[in-house]
């Protein structure tokens, strides 16, 4: 399974899986990875779906409505890709922590909704609930950070409340952080996430 990606080897055992927002590239979150853990290896992946020329990780029917079938398929594809990358680059598959923004946060959340032990932890900036009415695998003690906007026009606050509840019910240890900058990823949000990361990893 091929996905366009960048791999940079770090000096500790952690691997940050970087997942961009709609229309982004595998370069977008590199500066954020440096802020969160400059010593970690980085696996930054570009989405395989094109929406009017904009890279995404899965199709949507319209803004805020996901193509569920495609989401399931693409989540499996990404999970498989991480496994293959871990063999190719000889990193520990159990040390992968996702850092995703918007569409990238949604596919990272989807990994947690579909697979036990797919991630060691996750930093989700402005995610939505990937799927409703699904029983989640056991995610006991899994650290998850959610960065959200109180006035986010793309991702309503209720999505964050619901996502936190669903992941917490599956056993994850979820921290949420709120900003007032809409759907924008703020520097303060990243710094807060970096501090949370230090406490958890």
Is 102 one of the catalytic residues?
A: yes
Instruction: Tell me 94's DSSP state.
Output: G
Question: Which entry of 37, 118, 126, 152 is annotated as an active-site residue?
Answer: 152
Q: Cα separation of 193 and 145, whole Å?
A: 7
Is 86 one of the catalytic residues?
A: no
Q: CA geometry: angle at 15 spanning 188 and 88, to 5°?
A: 150
Cross-strand bridge partners of residue 6: 44
Contact predicate 109/31, CB 8 Å: no
Question: Which entry of 41, 44, 102, 118 is annotated as an active-site residue?
Answer: 102
Residues making up the chain, counted from first to last: 201
Is 117 one of the catalytic residues?
A: no
**Nearest alpha carbon to residue 188 among 10, 35, 5, 12:** 35
List residues with catalytic annotation: 102, 152, 183
């Amino acid at each position: 399974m091929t996905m366009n990606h960048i791999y940079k080897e770090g000096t500790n055992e952690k691997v940050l899986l970087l997942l961009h927002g709609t229309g982004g590239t595998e370069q977008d979150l590199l500066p954020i990875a440096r802020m969160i853990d400059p010593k970690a290896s980085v696996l930054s992946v570009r989405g395989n779906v094109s929406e009017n020329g904009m890279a995404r990780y899965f199709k949507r029917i319209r803004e805020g409505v996901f193509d569920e079938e495609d989401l399931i398929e693409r989540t499996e594809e990404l999970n498989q890709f991480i496994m293959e990358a871990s063999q190719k680059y000889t990193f520990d598959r159990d040390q992968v922590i996702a850092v995703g923004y918007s569409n990238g946060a949604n596919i990272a959340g989807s990994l947690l909704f579909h697979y036990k032990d797919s991630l060691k932890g996750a930093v989700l900036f402005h995610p939505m609930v990937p799927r409703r009415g699904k029983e989640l695998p056991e995610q006991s003690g899994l650290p998850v950070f959610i960065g959200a906007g109180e006035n986010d026009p793309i991702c309503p606050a209720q999505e964050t409340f619901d996502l936190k509840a669903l992941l917490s019910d599956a056993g994850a240890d979820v921290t949420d952080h709120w900003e007032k900058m809409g759907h924008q990823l703020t520097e303060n949000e990243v710094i807060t996430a970096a501090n949370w990361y230090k406490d958890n990893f």
